[in-house]
Structure 1
Amino acid sequence: MDFLQFLSWACIVFTVGMFSTGLTDLKKMRATQSADSVQFLPFLTTCLNNLGWLYYGILKKDGTLMVVNVIGASLQILYIVTYFHYTKDKRRVSAQTLAMAGVLGVAWVYFGVMLPHGETQLSQLGLFCSVFTVSMYLSPLLEIIRTRSVERLSFSLTVATFFTSASWTLYGLQLQDYYIMVPNTPGIVTSLIRFFLFWRFGAVSQDKPSYKLIQQI
């Protein structure tokens, strides 16, 4: 097995493991018959991110990107359907889901119809996916700094994010694909910062009566 193939498998294993942390929320919703303690928006944004990278992988004919993001999008759809089943605020959830569908529609028209096929289409889609991925890495970090608490962040998800972003960074480096490498580099940095913040604010959060495990990517 050459190094690129090893990295490909590492990306698949670590990324699917990261997406699977949402199963904790799914089990919680089924156990409590409620979605009150779970955030819905991360499921939507992660699904949108998966679909964007899936399209990028299809255009590049990259099997690793396609496999990972088909699995990721399927899991996010499962979480979305489960959340909708258990939530009391179905109107809000429906509105946010329709908004995401609208964004997908506009993106499809722009990237699939308006742009000329080829390098321009690939580079602009890669740039869009890269910016979106970086924002997803930064959002939980900003939430911790704002609240000075880690109780709304999963430590296991932070570990998974670190290994996932590291494997994708090396994979992108091997392919010389900066749209894969560059957005995942902040994932390594933000994960290390989140480890520090867990150490810094963890003692405060442990005094809380409960620990909320909520998926944020």
Structure 2
Amino acid sequence: MEAGAADALLSGVCVVFTLGMFSTGLSDLRHMWMTRRVDSVQFLPFLTTDVNNLSWLGYGTLKGDGTLIVVNAVGAVLQTLYILVYLHYCPRKGVELLQTAALLGVLLLGFGYFWLLVPNIEARLQQLGLFCSVFTISMYLSPLTDLARVIQTKSTQRLSFSLTIATLLTSASWTLYGFRLSDPYIMVPNVPGILTSFIRLWLFWKYPQEQDRNYQLLQT
């Protein structure tokens, strides 16, 4: 396979896997739409993913990378839709609006700094790439507290198997994509996604959800 065809195939794989991961939120969207309640749906992952998408969209635009632009533009639209529906059905919006204002403030300050105070394009690209990388790594590492809770309770009910597989495939494809482009800002932050996905898969193997249901039945 020629290099150009291989790059195009890898780009397509990144787009498909990433949009598949973003679309896992459609089940939450359907739940909120049908029940008109937010129940156990978590708001912060929608918000942080949206900010992450917008950050990488800026990096992709500055770099001229069509794959990054397409994926993160669609991702930002989806996450914004999830956020708006959540806020519509959330009875008390104070905390959510405060979180939204805080993260959007950080995003606006960051972009103001990069575009106004860093005139050199190459320096701007490197600093924005570093910002995106750190933000992505923090997103992948933030669920470690949930994983510790799973080990403590010996229950994987709070984990999503489909999201775990989607995250593994997405992280692996972007790691390979970043390696192919010799872009550490794309490659490095996706490695924690691979590692945490393997940890989740190990937890699913060690604490099967069928075992959780049987345990709950014995308790009732």
* Separation in structure 2 between the aligned mates of residue 189 and residue 65 of structure 1, nearest angstrom: 22
Query: Aligned to 2:207, what secondary structure does the other structure show?
Result: helix
Q: Which runs of 5+ in 1 are unaligned?
A: 210-217
* Separation in structure 2 between the aligned mates of residue 134 and residue 205 of structure 1, nearest angstrom: 30
How far residue 205 of structure 1 moved from its aligned partner, in angstroms, is 3.6
Tell me if structure 2 keeps the 8 A contact 1:140–1:153: no
Q: Partner of 2:141 in structure 1? A: 138
How far residue 140 of structure 1 moved from its aligned partner, in angstroms, is 1.9
* Separation in structure 1 between the aligned mates of residue 188 and residue 179 of structure 2, nearest angstrom: 9
* Separation in structure 2 between the aligned mates of residue 111 and residue 14 of structure 1, nearest angstrom: 30
Amino acid at match of 1:166: A
Q: Give the superposed CA RMSD.
A: 1.5
Q: Is residue 2:18 matched to residue 1:12?
A: no
Tell me if structure 2 keeps the 8 A contact 1:59–1:122: yes
Q: Is residue 2:97 matched to residue 1:98?
A: no
* Separation in structure 2 between the aligned mates of residue 192 and residue 147 of structure 1, nearest angstrom: 14
Instruction: Using structure 1 for the length normalisation, give the TM-score.
Output: 0.91
Amino acid at match of 1:189: L
How far residue 115 of structure 1 moved from its aligned partner, in angstroms, is 1.6
Query: Aligned to 2:68, what secondary structure does the other structure show?
Result: helix
* Separation in structure 2 between the aligned mates of residue 198 and residue 139 of structure 1, nearest angstrom: 19
Q: Partner of 1:214 in structure 2? A: none
* Separation in structure 2 between the aligned mates of residue 190 and residue 184 of structure 1, nearest angstrom: 10
Task: Specify whether residues 53 and 30 from structure 1 end up closer, same or farther in structure 2 by C-alpha distance, changes over 3 A only.
Answer: same
Query: Aligned to 1:19, what secondary structure does the other structure show?
Result: helix
- Determine which of 118, 121, 139 is the counterpart of 1:118: 121
* Separation in structure 1 between the aligned mates of residue 100 and residue 198 of structure 2, nearest angstrom: 32
How far residue 61 of structure 1 moved from its aligned partner, in angstroms, is 0.1
Larger Rg: 2
Q: Which runs of 5+ in 2 are unaligned?
A: none
* Separation in structure 2 between the aligned mates of residue 175 and residue 46 of structure 1, nearest angstrom: 24
- Measured against aligned partners, the alpha-carbon deviations of 1:116-136 in whole angstroms (never above 9, x if no partner) come to 231211111111111111111
Tell me if structure 2 keeps the 8 A contact 1:7–1:171: yes
- Determine which of 152, 156, 165 is the counterpart of 1:150: 156
Query: Aligned to 1:150, what secondary structure does the other structure show?
Result: coil
* Separation in structure 1 between the aligned mates of residue 90 and residue 120 of structure 2, nearest angstrom: 41
